[in-house]
Structure 1
Amino acid sequence: MDKTLAVLKAISDKNRLRILSVLLVHEELCACQITEFLKVAGATASRHLSQMVNAGVLENRKQGRWVYFRLNRDESSLAPLFKWINRKVENTTQVTQDLKALEKILCVPCENLSRKQRNGGHCAKV
């Protein structure tokens, strides 16, 4: 029961649900890309991502300076939840806007996104 509660808590925030929603479409995203489309501080995005990783909703991998996040598709008990969420949010205005913003963000190298974020701004005009 504790694991179920952790998963539900991990997706019960609007920004965390937004992260999950875009990862249903994109196999994986860098932390800087997630930070950019959420339009939040890096520490805030990191806190959201950590909670989702700790609950087992997301997995991460490090590649050089970058940390990439993806849905934990190895956990079979999450598959029905991911399908249900996808049906509920896939055509919402928020997810449509997020995916459109991500199209622009994905064209910017992570190095440039990270540099802009360190200087206190957002890189993509969305």
Structure 2
Amino acid sequence: MGFSAPSYAADTLCATVTSEAQPQSGQKNRSSGNFSTQGCGPRLKWTSPPLIVYRVMRDVSGGTDPVILGAVTNGLVTNAINERSLYIANPQNAKQSFQVTVYSTDDPTNN
């Protein structure tokens, strides 16, 4: 289950979350618990097993959860997202639970 995305000297762990292979029981989208990227930046690098595609959504109490990122794949670099209640949603191509790790990076790539 090895995978790798290029590392930069300034990559710093921001968050780690375990996602189920499909939405949790009773949930339409959510496949993980909440995690935070608050205070991370200037860019975020998302790592996960290859071929898995998922969305990142924000948990809104009593409201509709917005999609923050769509079609996230291993190695994607995004601008900083300063949010506390994020979760993994609607994974595709996952056969079992998997881990998503988010790094604060100086990687100049912005897919």
More strand by share: 2
Instruction: Report the TM-score when normalising by structure 1.
Output: 0.27
Instruction: Report the TM-score when normalising by structure 2.
Output: 0.29
Greater C-alpha Rg = 1
More helix by share: 1
